[in-house]
Amino acid sequence: MIKPTMLNKPLRKGYVQCTACEHWCAVGPGEAGKCGVRRNIDGQLQLVVYGKAIAAHVDPVEKKPLHHFLPGNPVYSIGTVGCNLFCQWCQNWDISQHRDFDPETDYIGEDLPPEAIVAYCRGHNIPLVAFTYNEPTVFFEYTYDTAKLAHKHGIRTIYVSSGFETSLALETIAPYLDAANIDLKAMRDETYRTYTGARLAPVLRNIEHLARETDIWLEVTTLLIPGLNDSDQEIRDAATFLAGVNPDIPWHVSAFTPQYRMQDRPPTPAKTLYRAWEIGKEAGLHYVYTGNIWGNPLLADTGDTFCPSCGERLVRRSGYHLREYWSERGVCHRCGERIAGVWR
């Protein structure tokens, strides 16, 4: 389905500016923005993947990853084709980097309008919807309508995002968004520009905005890529920034595997994740988690939640499975410390 976008501004000579992400694309007649899915059709900026899900799966919420947001619950995860970033290591490149298509004739996903998403969740007792797999901002209107309808039925919503949205996009979706995981890809602007086509500053701004000025629960993920963003100094810069925003932000440090256009680097070793976990703790972050490497003895405790006050183990995780020790979710059973998160 093709639908007019909400976030745009008319320009001269038939051009339309997209105001959804920080590329601020000026889209000429018959052209598309960098994402490939927001297109100028007859002088109007249209979303050509509205209601077209190329991926729709039920996942554990821990897979997003979110460890402090309704743990143990299933989430209906939705994505479309297209993306506003060009990450050379993209794990979902086959859908996110698919931009050159005819929306009238080419297959770009199954029909899955907002009403069908909400009906599926209600029929299968799924309390969460996540917009993920590609960047939710590029299919903003689809996410907005779904989130708004979901809220009417008590279903909570999640963005798994690069954090490259405009402030306008975040302010517009905020009343209907409950949680977000932002991908902080690096702490060097040159890395962003060279390997993703984006910029660092808007991502840092949005992390600060979400953490300090909204009620949206925020967690952050950094994929550690050997030789690119895994130096102790850069890891420390990321951890120090997050701790300065709010030490209660859970930080997920994940292992890279060679994908897409970055197959010339080795997978991230467990020792790098462990060092990042240590650095995050040293920087003052209360909750640091490792991901994408399971069963390694070095990382045995680094996926668990501990009380930042007394050190008691509260949740043990093995992959996406968890065992909870506390008597009341969100409260340390040993010292009574309240643990940051959304637990019910």
Q: Which pLDDT score is estimated for 4? A: 98
Mean pLDDT of the chain: 97
Q: Which pLDDT score is estimated for 292? A: 95
Q: How confident is the model over 117-132, as a mean pLDDT? A: 98
Q: How confident is the model over 92-120, as a mean pLDDT? A: 96
Q: How confident is the model over 180-192, as a mean pLDDT? A: 98
Q: Which residues pair with 217 in a beta bridge?
A: 179
Alpha-carbon distances of 226 from 184, 195, 263, 268, 272, rounded to whole Å? 16, 14, 11, 6, 9
β-pairing verdict for 179-183 and 156-161:
parallel
pLDDT exceeding 70 applies to what percent of the chain? 100
Question: How far is it, in rounded angstroms, from Cα 137 to Cα 134?
Answer: 9
Q: Which pLDDT score is estimated for 211? A: 98
Angle between helical axes of 200-213 and 232-245 (0-180°, round to 10): 30
Where are the domain boundaries for CATH 3.20.20.70 in the chain?
52-301
Q: What is the 3-state secondary structure (H, E, C) of 168-234?
A: HHHHHHHHHCCEEEEECCCCCHHHHHHHCCCCHHHHHHHHHHHHHHCCCEEEEEEEECCCCCCCHHH
Tell me the one-letter amino acid at 141: E
Q: How confident is the model over 325-344, as a mean pLDDT? A: 97
Q: How confident is the model over 96-122, as a mean pLDDT? A: 96
β-pairing verdict for 38-41 and 44-47:
antiparallel
Question: How far is it, in rounded angstroms, from Cα 235 to Cα 197?
Answer: 21
Q: Look up residue 161 and give its two tokens.
A: 């995002």
Q: How confident is the model over 125-151, as a mean pLDDT? A: 98
Nearest to 137 by CA among 156, 162, 117: 162
β-pairing verdict for 26-27 and 16-18:
antiparallel
Question: How far is it, in rounded angstroms, from Cα 38 to Cα 21?
Answer: 11
How far from each other are the two terminal CA atoms of the chain, in whole angstroms? 36
pLDDT digits (tens, 9 = 90+) for 12-59: 999 999 999 999 999 999 999 999 999 999 999 999 999 999 999 999
β-pairing verdict for 128-131 and 156-161:
parallel
**What is the CA angle 316-318-323, rounded to 5?**
35
Fill in the DSSP letter of residue 20.
S
CATH fold label, 52-301: TIM Barrel (3.20.20)
Q: Which pLDDT score is estimated for 258? A: 97
pLDDT digits (tens, 9 = 90+) for 54-70: 999 999 999 999 999 99
Q: Which pLDDT score is estimated for 7? A: 97
pLDDT digits (tens, 9 = 90+) for 190-229: 999 999 999 999 999 999 999 999 999 999 999 999 999 9
Cβ-defined contacts of 188-195 (< 8 Å, 24+): 188/229, 188/234, 191/228, 191/229, 195/87, 195/88, 195/89, 195/228, 195/262
pLDDT at 1 over 90: no
pLDDT band at 77 (very low <50, low <70, confident <90, very high): very high
Q: Which pLDDT score is estimated for 212? A: 97
Tell me the one-letter amino acid at 160: V
pLDDT exceeding 90 applies to what percent of the chain? 99
Of residues 344 and 1, which shows the higher confidence score? 344
